[in-house]
Amino acid sequence: MAFLAKRSGVLDGVCITGGEPTLYDDLVDLLYDIKSMGLLIKLDTNGTNPSMLKKIVEKGLVDYIAMDVKSSMERYGIAVGISDYNTAAIEESIRYIMECGIQYEFRTTLVKGIHTYDDMRGIVSLISGAKEYFLQSYKDNDSTIEKKAVFIDNRVHTLNCSEFSKEELLEFLDIARNKVKSAKLRGIDIYYS
Protein backbone atom coordinates (compact mmCIF):
# COMPACT_ATOMS: atom_id res chain seq x y z
CA MET A 1 0.00 0.00 0.00
CA ALA A 2 2.93 2.33 0.68
CA PHE A 3 4.22 1.64 -2.83
CA LEU A 4 0.83 2.60 -4.30
CA ALA A 5 0.50 5.66 -2.07
CA LYS A 6 3.86 6.98 -3.33
CA ARG A 7 2.54 6.73 -6.89
CA SER A 8 -0.76 8.48 -6.22
CA GLY A 9 -1.69 10.52 -9.26
CA VAL A 10 0.72 8.54 -11.45
CA LEU A 11 -0.97 5.14 -11.57
CA ASP A 12 -4.47 4.64 -12.92
CA GLY A 13 -4.92 1.08 -11.77
CA VAL A 14 -3.55 -2.15 -10.38
CA CYS A 15 -3.57 -5.69 -11.76
CA ILE A 16 -4.08 -8.37 -9.15
CA THR A 17 -2.49 -11.56 -10.43
CA GLY A 18 -0.94 -14.67 -9.03
CA GLY A 19 -0.62 -17.56 -8.41
CA GLU A 20 -4.36 -17.50 -8.04
CA PRO A 21 -5.46 -14.40 -6.10
CA THR A 22 -9.00 -15.64 -5.36
CA LEU A 23 -7.55 -18.29 -3.03
CA TYR A 24 -6.75 -15.65 -0.40
CA ASP A 25 -9.42 -14.85 2.17
CA ASP A 26 -8.03 -11.34 2.64
CA LEU A 27 -8.42 -10.47 -1.06
CA VAL A 28 -11.60 -8.49 -0.33
CA ASP A 29 -9.77 -6.34 2.25
CA LEU A 30 -6.88 -5.73 -0.15
CA LEU A 31 -9.26 -4.67 -2.93
CA TYR A 32 -11.11 -2.33 -0.55
CA ASP A 33 -7.81 -0.68 0.35
CA ILE A 34 -6.81 -0.27 -3.30
CA LYS A 35 -10.25 1.06 -4.27
CA SER A 36 -10.07 3.60 -1.42
CA MET A 37 -7.06 5.09 -3.23
CA GLY A 38 -9.22 5.69 -6.30
CA LEU A 39 -7.47 3.09 -8.45
CA LEU A 40 -9.04 0.81 -11.02
CA ILE A 41 -8.56 -2.93 -10.47
CA LYS A 42 -8.01 -5.70 -13.00
CA LEU A 43 -8.17 -9.26 -11.67
CA ASP A 44 -6.35 -12.12 -13.40
CA THR A 45 -7.91 -15.46 -12.46
CA ASN A 46 -8.01 -19.10 -13.45
CA GLY A 47 -11.70 -19.31 -12.53
CA THR A 48 -11.36 -21.95 -9.82
CA ASN A 49 -13.14 -19.87 -7.13
CA PRO A 50 -16.44 -18.54 -8.51
CA SER A 51 -17.75 -17.68 -5.03
CA MET A 52 -14.88 -15.21 -4.48
CA LEU A 53 -15.41 -13.80 -7.98
CA LYS A 54 -19.06 -13.17 -7.19
CA LYS A 55 -18.22 -11.59 -3.84
CA ILE A 56 -15.76 -9.05 -5.27
CA VAL A 57 -17.96 -8.18 -8.25
CA GLU A 58 -21.06 -7.71 -6.07
CA LYS A 59 -19.07 -5.43 -3.74
CA GLY A 60 -17.90 -3.33 -6.70
CA LEU A 61 -14.24 -4.14 -6.06
CA VAL A 62 -13.11 -5.04 -9.56
CA ASP A 63 -13.31 -3.17 -12.87
CA TYR A 64 -11.99 -5.78 -15.29
CA ILE A 65 -11.59 -9.57 -15.16
CA ALA A 66 -9.18 -11.61 -17.29
CA MET A 67 -9.70 -15.35 -17.05
CA ASP A 68 -7.43 -18.06 -18.41
CA VAL A 69 -9.33 -20.89 -20.06
CA LYS A 70 -6.75 -23.65 -20.12
CA SER A 71 -8.45 -26.01 -22.58
CA SER A 72 -11.71 -27.64 -23.56
CA MET A 73 -13.63 -29.03 -20.60
CA GLU A 74 -13.08 -32.59 -21.82
CA ARG A 75 -9.28 -32.16 -21.78
CA TYR A 76 -8.85 -29.60 -19.00
CA GLY A 77 -7.09 -32.17 -16.85
CA ILE A 78 -4.38 -32.59 -19.47
CA ALA A 79 -3.73 -28.84 -19.60
CA VAL A 80 -3.56 -28.47 -15.81
CA GLY A 81 -1.87 -31.83 -15.14
CA ILE A 82 -4.64 -33.27 -12.95
CA SER A 83 -6.40 -36.45 -13.95
CA ASP A 84 -10.23 -36.32 -13.85
CA TYR A 85 -10.21 -32.59 -13.16
CA ASN A 86 -13.69 -31.36 -12.17
CA THR A 87 -14.44 -28.33 -14.36
CA ALA A 88 -17.67 -27.27 -12.61
CA ALA A 89 -16.05 -24.20 -11.00
CA ILE A 90 -14.42 -23.20 -14.29
CA GLU A 91 -17.73 -23.42 -16.13
CA GLU A 92 -19.54 -21.49 -13.38
CA SER A 93 -16.92 -18.73 -13.46
CA ILE A 94 -17.15 -18.42 -17.24
CA ARG A 95 -20.96 -18.08 -17.11
CA TYR A 96 -20.79 -15.57 -14.28
CA ILE A 97 -18.12 -13.42 -15.90
CA MET A 98 -20.09 -13.25 -19.15
CA GLU A 99 -23.28 -12.21 -17.33
CA CYS A 100 -22.05 -9.99 -14.46
CA GLY A 101 -21.70 -6.71 -16.36
CA ILE A 102 -17.99 -6.18 -15.62
CA GLN A 103 -15.60 -5.75 -18.57
CA TYR A 104 -13.73 -8.98 -19.20
CA GLU A 105 -11.60 -11.08 -21.47
CA PHE A 106 -10.84 -14.76 -21.78
CA ARG A 107 -7.48 -16.04 -22.95
CA THR A 108 -5.79 -19.31 -23.77
CA THR A 109 -2.08 -19.99 -24.09
CA LEU A 110 -1.79 -22.53 -26.90
CA VAL A 111 0.81 -25.27 -26.50
CA LYS A 112 1.60 -27.83 -29.18
CA GLY A 113 1.50 -31.20 -27.43
CA ILE A 114 -1.44 -30.12 -25.27
CA HIS A 115 -3.96 -28.29 -27.49
CA THR A 116 -5.78 -29.48 -30.59
CA TYR A 117 -8.19 -27.83 -33.00
CA ASP A 118 -10.97 -29.83 -31.29
CA ASP A 119 -9.95 -28.25 -27.98
CA MET A 120 -10.36 -24.81 -29.56
CA ARG A 121 -13.83 -25.76 -30.81
CA GLY A 122 -14.71 -26.90 -27.27
CA ILE A 123 -13.37 -23.71 -25.67
CA VAL A 124 -15.18 -21.34 -28.00
CA SER A 125 -18.41 -23.30 -27.68
CA LEU A 126 -18.20 -22.73 -23.94
CA ILE A 127 -17.44 -18.99 -24.29
CA SER A 128 -19.67 -18.48 -27.33
CA GLY A 129 -20.65 -14.82 -27.60
CA ALA A 130 -17.76 -13.62 -25.41
CA LYS A 131 -16.77 -10.00 -25.99
CA GLU A 132 -12.98 -10.55 -25.97
CA TYR A 133 -10.90 -13.67 -26.45
CA PHE A 134 -7.13 -13.67 -26.83
CA LEU A 135 -4.99 -16.51 -28.08
CA GLN A 136 -1.43 -16.48 -26.80
CA SER A 137 1.37 -18.71 -28.00
CA TYR A 138 3.52 -20.80 -25.74
CA LYS A 139 7.11 -19.63 -26.24
CA ASP A 140 10.06 -21.99 -26.48
CA ASN A 141 13.21 -20.76 -24.74
CA ASP A 142 16.18 -22.13 -22.83
CA SER A 143 14.41 -21.98 -19.46
CA THR A 144 11.10 -23.53 -20.57
CA ILE A 145 10.26 -27.10 -19.67
CA GLU A 146 9.80 -28.89 -22.99
CA LYS A 147 8.36 -32.09 -21.57
CA LYS A 148 5.41 -32.04 -19.23
CA ALA A 149 4.51 -35.10 -17.21
CA VAL A 150 0.83 -35.48 -16.43
CA PHE A 151 -0.98 -38.19 -14.49
CA ILE A 152 -3.98 -39.41 -16.49
CA ASP A 153 -5.92 -42.63 -16.07
CA ASN A 154 -3.52 -43.81 -13.31
CA ARG A 155 -0.52 -43.49 -15.65
CA VAL A 156 2.16 -40.86 -16.16
CA HIS A 157 2.09 -39.43 -19.68
CA THR A 158 4.81 -37.23 -21.12
CA LEU A 159 3.73 -34.40 -23.39
CA ASN A 160 6.25 -32.78 -25.71
CA CYS A 161 5.49 -29.08 -25.48
CA SER A 162 6.44 -26.66 -28.24
CA GLU A 163 5.21 -23.62 -30.14
CA PHE A 164 2.61 -23.74 -32.88
CA SER A 165 3.59 -22.23 -36.23
CA LYS A 166 2.08 -18.91 -37.26
CA GLU A 167 -0.08 -20.76 -39.79
CA GLU A 168 -1.42 -23.10 -37.11
CA LEU A 169 -2.14 -20.15 -34.80
CA LEU A 170 -4.14 -18.52 -37.58
CA GLU A 171 -6.18 -21.72 -37.93
CA PHE A 172 -6.94 -21.61 -34.18
CA LEU A 173 -7.91 -17.95 -34.59
CA ASP A 174 -10.29 -18.76 -37.45
CA ILE A 175 -12.03 -21.38 -35.29
CA ALA A 176 -12.36 -18.88 -32.43
CA ARG A 177 -13.75 -16.13 -34.64
CA ASN A 178 -16.70 -18.33 -35.55
CA LYS A 179 -18.07 -18.18 -31.97
CA VAL A 180 -16.81 -15.07 -30.15
CA LYS A 181 -17.35 -11.39 -30.88
CA SER A 182 -13.66 -10.50 -30.91
CA ALA A 183 -10.84 -13.02 -31.12
CA LYS A 184 -7.24 -11.86 -31.47
CA LEU A 185 -3.72 -13.16 -31.30
CA ARG A 186 -1.76 -11.54 -28.47
CA GLY A 187 2.01 -11.23 -28.37
CA ILE A 188 2.44 -12.76 -31.81
CA ASP A 189 4.27 -10.88 -34.55
CA ILE A 190 1.88 -11.41 -37.45
CA TYR A 191 -0.55 -9.10 -39.15
CA TYR A 192 -4.00 -10.53 -39.61
CA SER A 193 -7.16 -8.52 -40.16
pLDDT of the residue at 57: 98
Interatomic CA distance for residues 85 and 97, integer angstroms: 21
- What's the topology of domain 2-186? pyruvate-formate lyase- activating enzyme (3.80.30)
Q: What are phi and psi of 99, to 5 degrees?
A: -105, -10
pLDDT at 53 over 60: yes
> How many Cα atoms sit within 13 Å of 184 on the Cβ side?
10
Q: Spell out the domain ranges in the chain.
A: 2-186
The residue with greater pLDDT, 2 or 187, is 2
The average pLDDT across 126-131 equals 95
Work out the percent of the chain whose per-residue pLDDT is above 70.
87
Global confidence as pTM: 0.88
List beta partners, residue 183. 133
pLDDT of the residue at 18: 86
Report the candidate in 93, 117, 99, 110 with the shortest Cα–Cα distance to residue 161. Answer: 110
The average pLDDT across 69-91 equals 92
**132: Cβ contacts below 8 Å, ≥ 6 apart:** 104, 105, 106, 180, 181, 182, 184
pLDDT at 147 over 60: no
pLDDT of the residue at 187: 78
pLDDT of the residue at 158: 64
The residue with greater pLDDT, 110 or 189, is 110
* pLDDT tens track for 156-193: 556 677 889 999 999 999 999 999 999 999 876 654 44
pLDDT bracket for residue 83 (50, 70, 90): confident
Among 4-8, 116-120, 139-143, 177-181, which stretch is predicted with the lowest mean pLDDT? Answer: 139-143
pLDDT of the residue at 148: 57
